[in-house]
Chain A
């Protein structure tokens, strides 16, 4: 199942399908390793629930909800179905 990274439950992981946004943020996200095929795990959230911290390619990157929403992921568990 495909879903926005912002909707990925805390403690679960997914695989990046693509980034649905252009511009500077897109380039930055790609540079940080959110490229198609990369595994992303949602680790924890800030006190207000936003931003959330994601593990990608060995480092932890915090993204705000609106920005994480532009990344589409496939839930990892479903990759095995």
Chain B
């Protein structure tokens, strides 16, 4: 659920992060899930969404802050384990650190896993000595009895080191001060390799120094040339305007070096470099870190509960049902209250318009069109979202989502996909466009495509309210605890159906268009972190709920006007809306729905939030309905228009399985760069939904 104000906000620069006009530009680098985004938010006051899992930041974000009269530009780059790019994010991180032209790099490290984090820091130090090391999550490490001697670390590395617990604000001021006081330095700690390797590195480095002229660190370039790191060398060639590998001074030297290394018996150069870097990291840690190295036993007990054969999946389903239950139960009252409020305001507006002598058409367009849709969207969407988002964010902050990916990985493996797809699906529950962007965390291109094309099978928050209202009014009825519990169970079933459909389509794709075996994902399971409840509440309310609601309202208001016009502009004695719904009615009936429902889904293409309002409008326009659009009114109206349980089930199924909204489709196009996959992303879920609906409809006809 990575959709936040930041991703579209005016202070944020997504994607293109050229170095701007700030006095100092600092890149924020680090392993995944070490709190880079928390540090970024702490320093800039922005609200890049953070979560307790690897790869939360998939888009490079930039922000600025002022400190003692100077402007600092901070670039939050995606998490990376290494500068040897394995994934798209690591590639982005590597290119920015090596070639982005930042004045300094702030390397954020997890105090609890310093050795592995130093692996990256030492690699960054091979690119530039202008590094500040921010040892974050000190509080968590301290709780486990791990102590980090930042002073000794600073002496060992020859760079400033700041101890931090960024979530609690600890160390932020120190980091600001160190960044302000930072002086470019000629050198810092450098990993030294075997003499045989060093000789070749030094020779190339000397020659490269003149050629590169400060645009890229010559020692780093020499290492990459010897390793033949194609990704970096290609990126460097683009930036430099020439390819170092083909440079007349370098090419002969390089092949000579390679030959000598082979003669000296140095094979698997990359392995040797990585091993050496880890050895150095281990030695430094031995001097600077003390405390127990094992896994916390309390964490282990919780982990085992969440992953055991007997408890893993049931706990997951129960948690999901519990969240839905709290959402449904808690949202009922406020929804009714909000709707009543909107109705009163609408009446007032209606009276006002009449008093002003507004023409009847304008009055109806505003009150029955714009206002009614808006009031539905706000009153039906706001309360559940205000409950669902914070609860979901709590689970996310705790670190539960990677455990779900871990538990379900085997199922995804059998479908020829990757367990990390669960993380992108969880993002899809918030917003499918965000989920599609999130697919970048999946390394294998084939599996990334599978996850991208199937993401729409997770109902986003635009579609969630459709399920919520239809289940409440049609399958279980509003009211009592038992009914809310039942509704939560039914909703869970629909989500499980979405997951099953995802697995089915993934499997189908792996067998046909995207043939191939499942790759080798490596998933990091972060330690559980106690969520900061207050912050979660504020953040998910402000950043997610209101943002999503604002978007929905912005789409819903003009949509309301448009639908009203369609319902009231007549061609040959029949309204445009009526003509369309009439045309689609046979297809709709075959799928267990009707023409109006299909029309609503089609018109809901720009934003699914508008599906129910369009339904209401269309039925209202046909003149059989005179009440409001509260939940009970909704039930009566739908029943009057021939809805049965079959209709409701089919509509819910189709809600989960049909084309995604235009924003999502555009995102798929952007991410895959392919029309074919974009079309399939719309077609496949729709086909599956249509087949299932037709089956349910046929069964319904037999039974009923």
Contacts and interface: CB of A to CB of B under 8 A. Distances in A.
Chains A and B form a bound pair: yes
- Select the residue from A32, A41, A58, A66 with max chain B CB neighbours within 10 A: A58
B307 interface: yes
B114 A36 contact: no
Given A31-B84, A46-B407, A62 B525 contact: yes
Nearest to A59: B113
A41 B278 contact: no
A47 B303 contact: no
Nearest to A23: B520
A63 B275 CA distance: 20
B300 A44 contact: yes
Given A35-B274, A50-B410, A60 B524 contact: yes
A27 interface: yes
A67 B303 CA distance: 22
Contacts of A55: 294-295
Interface stretch (B43-51, B308-316, B327-335, B680-688): B308-316
Interface residues of B, number: 44
Given A32-B116, A51-B523, A67-B520, A44 B307 contact: yes
A66 B520 contact: yes
- Select the residue from A24, A38, A48 with max chain B CB neighbours within 10 A: A48
B352 interface: no
B409 interface: yes
B307 A36 contact: no
Given A58-B113, A59-B113, A51 B86 contact: no
B522 A29 contact: yes
A41 B520 CA distance: 20
A38 B274 CA distance: 13
A19 to B, nearest CB: 8
A30 B113 CA distance: 15
A26 B523 CA distance: 15
A53 B527 CA distance: 12
A53 B406 contact: yes
Contact of A60 (B115, B274, B295, B407): B295
Interface in A32-73: 32-33, 35-39, 41, 43-51, 53, 55-64, 66-67
Contacts of B270: 27, 30
B84 A61 contact: no
B126 to A, nearest CB: 14
B406 A61 contact: no
A62 B293 CA distance: 18
B25 interface: no
Contacts of A37: 279
B381 to A, nearest CB: 35
Nearest to B82: A31
B119 interface: yes
Chain B interface, DSSP helix/strand/loop, else mixed? helix
A32 B407 contact: no
Nearest to B120: A31
A8 to B, nearest CB: 15
A64 B110 CA distance: 25
A6 B338 CA distance: 56
A49 to B, nearest CB: 8
Contacts of B411: 48
Contact of B81 (A31, A38, A60): A31
- Select the residue from A31, A50, A62, A63 with max chain B CB neighbours within 10 A: A31
Contacts of A33: 115-116, 119, 278
A27 B84 contact: yes
B30 to A, nearest CB: 13
A25 to B, nearest CB: 5
A25 B520 contact: yes
Given A33-B119, A58-B114, A67-B520, A24 B410 contact: no
A59 B300 contact: no
Contact of A59 (B275, B410, B518, B524): B524
A51 B409 CA distance: 7
A62 B303 contact: no
A31 B300 contact: no
B319 to A, nearest CB: 15
A41 B406 contact: no
B384 interface: no
A46 B410 contact: yes
27 contacts: A24-B86, A28-B81, A28-B520, A31-B84, A32-B81, A39-B293, A43-B295, A43-B300, A43-B303, A44-B304, A47-B313, A47-B407, A48-B410, A48-B411, A50-B413, A51-B406, A51-B410, A51-B419, A51-B523, A57-B116, A58-B116, A59-B113, A60-B526, A61-B524, A62-B406, A64-B518, A67-B520
Q: Which 10 A-B pairs have the closest CB atoms?
A: A58-B113, A31-B82, A48-B410, A47-B312, A62-B523, A60-B525, A59-B113, A30-B274, A57-B116, A67-B520
Interface of B: 81-82, 84, 86, 110, 112-116, 119, 270-271, 274-275, 278-279, 293-295, 300, 303-304, 307-309, 312-313, 406-407, 409-411, 413, 419, 518, 520-527
Given A51-B406, A64-B520, A64-B521, 7 more contacts: A24-B86, A28-B520, A30-B274, A35-B274, A44-B308, A49-B309, A59-B113
Interface of A: 24-33, 35-39, 41, 43-51, 53, 55-64, 66-67
